[in-house]
């Protein structure tokens, strides 16, 4: 077993645990961006967002909320980032999916940069990455009514 997070789950490596249940573990990041930086992981090994199943993802997000609330209550940061990196280029250092909870304080050294969107690219990319709303059967009474705005936009989106 090479994965250090799997070793933490198995108790082969120490960690500063802050939450544990049957499927999920949260512990302090040993290289924190800020004091109070915590990680939430599924106990089972999944590499990233593409690999993990939806149910397990929901579990880790739910624990993320619990831990974030605790950090917010006890450390009283001025803000808090939830971050989940996929791939080396995105800064994923351990290939076992994990959610970062990073409390933010005035004048801290954590930095994210953003850039102004190029308009043409912005529109092209929007079309390319728009996710279709799942089709749902309308309720009986709705079938008789005029199509609602939502239904129209769904049809419109299919034309691309």
Site for Zn ion in 22-61 (CB under 5 A): 45
Q: In this structure, what DSSP letter does residue 36 have? A: T
Q: Considering beta carbons, is residue 52 or 102 the nearer one to Zn ion?
A: 52
Question: Do residues 102 and 84 lie in contact, with contact meaning Cβ atoms separated by under 8 Å?
Answer: no
Smallest separation, CB 8 to Zn ion (Å)? 9
Q: Which of 37, 45, 96, 98 is catalytic?
A: 98
Say which residue the tokens 């390319």 belong to.
Answer: 128
* 98 catalytic per annotation: yes
Smallest separation, CB 95 to Zn ion (Å)? 7
Per CB under 5 A, the list member of 96, 97, 100, 102 interacting with Zn ion is: 96
Q: Is 94 in the site for Zn ion (CB under 5 A)?
A: no
Smallest separation, CB 32 to Zn ion (Å)? 20
Q: Which two tokens stand for residue 70?
A: 């605790």
Q: Is 6 in the site for Zn ion (CB under 5 A)?
A: yes
3-class DSSP assignment, residue 10: helix
Q: Which two tokens stand for residue 125?
A: 């990319």
Angle made by CA atoms 111, 117, 103, in degrees to the nearest 5: 25
Q: Within a 13 Å sphere around the CA of 30, how many CA atoms are in the beta-carbon half?
A: 10
Shortest Cβ contact with Zn ion: which residue? 3
Q: How far apart are CA 36 and CA 71, in angstroms?
A: 7
Question: Do residues 82 and 101 lie in contact, with contact meaning Cβ atoms separated by under 8 Å?
Answer: yes
Q: Is 3 in the site for Zn ion (CB under 5 A)?
A: yes
Q: Considering beta carbons, is residue 1 or 131 the nearer one to Zn ion?
A: 1
Q: Considering beta carbons, is residue 3 or 82 the nearer one to Zn ion?
A: 3
Residues classed as catalytic: 98
Which residues are at the interface with Zn ion (CB under 5 A)? 3, 5-6, 45, 96
């Amino acid at each position: 077993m090479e994965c250090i997070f799997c070793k933490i789950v198995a108790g082969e490596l120490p960690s500063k645990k802050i939450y544990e249940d049957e499927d999920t573990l949260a512990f302090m990041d040993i290289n924190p961006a800020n004091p109070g930086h915590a990680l939430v992981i599924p106990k089972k090994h999944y590499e990233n967002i593409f690999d993990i199943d939806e149910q397990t993802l929901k579990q880790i997000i739910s624990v993320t909320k619990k831990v974030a609330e605790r950090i917010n209550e006890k450390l009283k940061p001025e803000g808090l980032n939830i971050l989940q990196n996929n791939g080396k280029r995105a800064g994923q250092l351990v290939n076992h999916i994990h959610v970062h909870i990073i409390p933010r304080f005035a004048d801290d050294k954590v930095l994210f940069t953003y850039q102004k969107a190029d308009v043409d690219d912005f529109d092209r990319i929007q079309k390319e990455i728009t996710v279709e709303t799942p089709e749902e059967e309308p309720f009986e009474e709705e079938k008789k009514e005029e199509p609602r705005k939502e239904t129209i936009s769904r049809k419109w989106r299919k034309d691309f």
